[in-house]
Each structure stands twice: as C-alpha cells, then as structure tokens.
Amino acid sequence: MTLPTLHLPTLPRVLSRLTVTIPAWPFTPPTSRAFAFAANLAAWPSLRELDWSHVHGRHFCVQVSDIGLQFFFTLHAEGFRAERRSRADVTFTATSADFARLALRLEDPDTLFFNRKLLIEGDTDLGLTVKNMLDAVELETAAAKMPVGLGHLVLALRRLALKD
C-alpha cells in the first residue's frame, strides 16, 4: 500500500501571493478587514449553524509568520468582524502553507504543534475550542456552502494534494 505523501507543493506560493495583495484594499485596518470579509464569504455560511455564543466578543489573532501578516478579528452572531490590532485573547501562529494545510484538512494541528509549526498563545482553552469546533465541520459540507467555484476549488486542491 502506498500512502499519500500529503505534500502541497504549489499552494503556499499561490496563497501567499494572494494574501500579500490584500493590503491594497481600501479599508482600515486593511488586512483584518479583508480577512473578515473573506472569512464571512467563504467560511461563515457553514459555520453559522454552530453555537459560537461562548466565543462571542473574544478577540482572535491569526499570525502568518512567513509573510508577516496579522489578522485581528472577533466573532459575532452575524459573522466575523475585523478588529484593530490591539489585543488578542488567543493568537494562532503558523506559516501560510501550514494554515492552508490545516484549512484543507490535510494536517492535524497537534502534529504541527509537536513539530513546532503551530503555536497557540493566550487563552489555550479558547484556542482549543475553536480548533475542535472547526474540526467538527465537514469540509464537503463547508465547500458546498461556499460561493460558486470556490467550493469546487477547495475540494480540488485537497484531492490534488492527497494524490500527490
């Protein structure tokens, strides 16, 4: 039996190019705004059914270490909201490639943690809550609720990576 090697050779560069262009958006703070906008578009439709009430108003920071970007946001009944880069209750740090692998369900967060590729600082319980809640969303279901084309793209990327 051969196992998929689970490499994502091209995605990180594509993704980092994509994210680096984001600061050009005419909002302040532009990166976090863009992040919240994209998250509301792509992820929120499948996440809104979950009970997020106990994380409402908590401040999150996603830190993409290889391209030096930070996204600050909160979560509310209506979705993601960008926040000023002030404080974060919990901060997730990883490279763009590793975040992409997590998002596509190609990698296990604990494995990344053991290998020092994922860091959760601040309120650990809040971090674990979010991690576990995201794990409980099926990628196929999430993809089906994404804007036309995006869902297909996500699933295709995952298949591609698994085949590689």
The residue range among 26-34, 67-75, 77-85, 122-130 that interacts with other proteins, by the rule CB under 8 A, is: 122-130
Distance CA 25, CA 135 (A): 30
- Which CB, 26 or 68, lies closer to other proteins? 68
State yes or no: residue 137 binds other proteins (CB under 8 A): yes
Hey, what are 56's tokens?
A: 């409402």
Distance CA 53, CA 60 (A): 15
Question: Among 127, 146, 151, 161, which residue interacts with other proteins (rule: CB under 8 A)?
Answer: 127
Given CA atoms 15, 39, 50, 121 in this order, what sign does their dihedral have? positive
Binding residues among 62-101 for other proteins as defined by CB under 8 A = 93
- Which CB, 51 or 78, lies closer to other proteins? 51
> Shortest approach of other proteins to residue 110 CB, angstroms?
5
87 class by beta-carbon count within 10 Å (0-12 exposed, 13-18 middle, 19+ buried): exposed
57 class by beta-carbon count within 10 Å (0-12 exposed, 13-18 middle, 19+ buried): exposed
Distance CA 26, CA 39 (A): 17
Amino acid in position 106: L
> Shortest approach of other proteins to residue 20 CB, angstroms?
24
Contact pattern from residue 32 through residue 51 relative to other proteins, giving x for each residue in contact according to CB under 8 A and a dash for the rest: --------------------
Residues of the shown chain interacting with other proteins in the complex, contacts defined by CB under 8 A: 1-3, 6, 93, 105-111, 113-116, 119-121, 124-133, 135-139
